[in-house]
């Protein structure tokens, strides 16, 4: 599938990490999504019902992230992928989750994962 919907630089705060201070203080996370979606029908019809509503997916991701308390960014990324793939029109998703300033001398540290319908 060549069509993609992009959600770039979703900046949220959550409890994430294994250290004591990370378990008690919210940290910034930066999230990017690439949703593989067939947009041809929407391109022809100009009808919202013919595409994935990225606003709805973003709201679900925000709710998940802000309410989560995972230890690993890998787990957070996997759960975000599951939210995105809950819309049956999303065939595959790439999720990147970064923790800015998590590592001294680095702008950020994070993971990037790809999940398909077969993974959930």
Pull the structure tokens for residue 119.
Answer: 């993974």
Distances (CA, A) of 62 to 1, 54, 95: 26, 12, 14
Residue 75 designated active-site: no
DSSP states along 84-96? HHTSTTEEEEEEE
Q: Are 93 and 77 in contact (CB under 8 A)?
A: no
Catalytic member of 59, 69, 75, 99? 99
For the annotated catalytic residues, the residue numbers are 99
């Amino acid at each position: 599938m060549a069509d993609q919907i992009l959600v770039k630089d979703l900046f949220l705060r959550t409890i994430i990490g294994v250290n004591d201070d990370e378990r008690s203080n919210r940290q910034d996370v930066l999230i990017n999504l690439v949703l593989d979606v067939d947009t041809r029908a929407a391109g022809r019809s100009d009808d919202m019902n013919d595409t994935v509503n990225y606003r709805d997916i973003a709201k679900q991701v925000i709710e998940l992230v802000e309410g989560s308390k995972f230890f690993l960014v890998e787990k957070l990324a996997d759960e975000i992928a599951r939210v995105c793939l809950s819309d049956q029109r999303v065939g595959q998703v790439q999720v990147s989750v970064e923790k800015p300033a998590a590592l001294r001398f680095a702008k950020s540290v994070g993971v990037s994962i790809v999940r398909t319908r077969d993974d959930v």
